[in-house]
Structure formats: C-alpha cells, structure tokens
Amino acid sequence: MKDRGYHHSPKNFQKVTEGHSYSTIAWIPEEQGSWALPLRHERISSFETPISKATWQLKQVRKSTKFPILALLDSEYGNGYWANHTVDIEVDCLIRIRSNCCLYGEPGEYSGRGRPRKHGDKFKLQEQSTWWNATETVELDEDKLGKIKVRKWSELHFRSSASVPMTLILVERLKTNKKGLLQKPLWLVFIGKYKLDLLPLELLWKKYLRRFSVDHWYRLIKQRLHWTLPALSTPHQCERWSDLMPLLTWQLWLAKDIVEEYHLP
C-alpha cells in the first residue's frame, strides 16, 4: 500500500508498525456515557503531521458552528508548537501534558538594559521545589475517584510559545475508593479566555475526562464496525471505507432512543 508510515503500535509502545494514521475530531454530546460523534475523521498523509492535520480540522469545525468550542487533547498536543499554530483559532483548549514538562512564568518588569526577557522562573513539574504558591486550591470528594485535590497556577507558558499564556491545573488523588488504581497526578493546561470565567475549577478539570469517549469510539469502529478488517490495497479505498465509520456512528446514535435494549442472560 502506498503512502505508509511508521507508527507506534497501540498494543505495545516499544514496537513500531507500518500503516496509515488518522486524526479524528468528535463531538461529545452527553455529560455521561461513552458516545462520541465524529465531526471529521481523516487520514494523515506522509506530508502532514498530527498537529498540522488537527489544526486544519479544528479550523474547519470552527467555521461550521457559532457555539463556543472546548477542545480536549492528549499529551501529544501539549507543546508550544500546537499553542503557536492555534492561537488565532477562536477555541479553548484543555490539554494533558507530560509530567516531565518545564513551563515558565511571567518575565516581570523590564529592567531597562538589554533585550527584554521572554521567560520568568522555571516551573518544573517533576521538581516540587520550583513550584510557587497556587492561585487556587480546592478539595473534592468524588464517588468514583475518592478524595481529590485540584490546584491552579495562572500565567504560565511553554518555552517556544511565550506569547500564549496558559493556566496550569494539577489533579491529585489523595484517597481512593478502590485498591490497585493508578495514583499518578494529572497535569492539564488550559489555553483560552471563553470558558475559564464561566466554569469553576472543580468543574473545569472534569471536562477532560470526557475525552476518553473518543477512545471508546475507536474501539467501537474496530471491534463492532470492522474498520480495520478489510485488506484494502490503496489509500483511496481506505479513505472511502473510513468515511463510512462516522456515518454509521451518527445513525446508531440517532436511533438509540427507538431501540429497546435486550441483554442476553
């Protein structure tokens, strides 16, 4: 098959496999549940990158709606390259970042000598000694997650995107309700100015949990709709077959209220 690339295998990130990669932007229509309705589901060619493709897709979605958009993105997009390329798009972004990232604060006032500074003090996520006092802190008791502590720091930025201010959010599980669950903290950055003033901190971080509905959708189209089953021979055939996946998903979602569930014993 033409235009193949090397990609990490989803089953084992130590291995690399050949094939095509796809970029999907989906609408999460409900506050609960696993439904994700794809708005754009397109192949990433060898002349594109995941960030360039997602940027183009986000612009197309922005043109087709007048409602506010909150984009939820994985750590692959948590960098200054994404922040610089989407600064002109009128959307808010809530992005997970890796725990080894280093952010920077405001540079402070100009001293009057030399070139003005772009960066302030370093904020290393893995070194708590570099953290300063949080702007806001809340503690919550969640039914499924247990006791949660959420902290927020304002006016931070990536090194390569000093002109794009961000809000850093740290979510920690202080006491879990179940044993054996992951205890790693969740680091998020918020870029935008439309949703932050409307949503309190205890609700803003929960929006990111809805992003996992996209993972459920990929599992649905692979296991139930047989997206990866046909052995197609050209990229054009793959794209035509992949175009059916969003159409089938929307039809299933629209028909879910007129079908009675029947669970086998």
**Structural domain total, the chain:** 1
Residue 264 counted as domain residue:
no
What's the pTM value of the predicted model, to 2 decimals? 0.90
- Tokens 């594109």 map to which residue? 48
Inform me whether the pLDDT recorded for 255 exceeds 90.
yes
Residue 255 counted as domain residue:
no
* Amino acid occupying residue 260: E
Residue 226 counted as domain residue:
yes
d(CA 189, CA 158): 10
Residue 261 counted as domain residue:
no
Asked if residue 96 lies in contact with residue 85, where contact means CB atoms within 8 angstroms, the answer is no
Domain with 15, as residue range(s), is: 5-249
d(CA 54, CA 35): 21
Q: Distances from the Cα of 149 to the Cαs of 74, 174, 204, in angstroms?
A: 21, 7, 13
Q: What is the chain written as a DSSP string?
A: --S-EEEE-SS-TTSEEEE-EEEEEEE---SSSS--EEEEEEEE-TT--HHHHHHHHHHHHHHT--S--EEEE-GGG-SHHHHHHSTTSS-EEEEE--TT-EEE----S--SSSSPPS--SEEETT-GGG----SEEEEEEETTTEEEEEEEEEEEB-TT-TTS-EEEEEEEEEE-SSTT-----EEEEEE-SSSTTTS-HHHHGGGGGGGHHHHHHHHHHHHTS-TT-S---SHHHHHHHHHHHHHHHHHHHHHGGGS------
The full length of the chain comes to 265
Q: What is the CATH number of the domain that holds 196?
A: 3.90.350
- pLDDT of amino acid 150: 95
Q: What is the pLDDT of residues 74-112, one digit of tens each?
A: 999 999 999 999 999 999 999 999 999 999 999 888 877
Max CA distance (Å), the chain: 77
- Tokens 């609960």 map to which residue? 32
Residue 129, Cβ density class (10 Å: 0-12 exposed, 13-18 middle, ≥19 buried): exposed
What band does 196 get if pLDDT is binned at 50, 70 and 90? low
d(CA 73, CA 78): 8
> Of the given ranges (1-10, 49-58, 131-140), which has the lowest mean pLDDT?
1-10
Residue 185 counted as domain residue:
yes
Q: What is the pLDDT of residues 23-36, one digit of tens each?
A: 999 999 988 889 99
Residue 244 counted as domain residue:
yes
Asked if residue 25 lies in contact with residue 58, where contact means CB atoms within 8 angstroms, the answer is yes
Residue 263 counted as domain residue:
no
Residue 262 counted as domain residue:
no
Mean pLDDT of 229-247: 94
